[in-house]
Structure 1
Amino acid sequence: LAEKLNISQEIRVIDIFRLPEVFSLEEKEENWENLWAVLKEAITAAMEGLLLMRINEGQNLAHDIMQRNQFILSLV
């Protein structure tokens, strides 16, 4: 940067940050109600998906166990 601007002194990042209004922090007020509404919707959808997955898993396991049971009974 110093070379591009024909400045003899090296410019450091810290020097740029010290300039007024180059870097400023402002506290942003969060809207927690809106944030919670979005999170609640995502959590609810995830939990519903998990519940459906567990139901399907249980049905598949029951079907598999019944098939294996029938196979064992056919051997006896």
Structure 2
Amino acid sequence: MQTYIGGVSCPFICSKHLDHGVLLVGYGSAGYSPIHLKDKPYWIIKNSWGENCGENGYYKICRGSNVCGVDSLVSTVVALNTKSQ
């Protein structure tokens, strides 16, 4: 996503080799995709590079087509109470 400049990103080529973490924070039903020249549904991603990258630290990526592994290369955290009882 280093080349992201705005709108909804729908790259044709994207590495599936993860090298940083991001956080999926929301979605939208129609945002303009410059590469497709039309509105596309999208995920809103908070990037890990700070507010100077993307749109104030966020970017939009096409939803529903597993672009860049966003639908399949997912991890999660489960917090457990480790306090002794």
The TM-score normalised by the length of structure 1 is 0.22
Higher percent of residues as strand: 2
Larger Rg: 1
Higher relative contact order by CA 8 Å / sep ≥ 6: 1 or 2? 2
The TM-score normalised by the length of structure 2 is 0.21
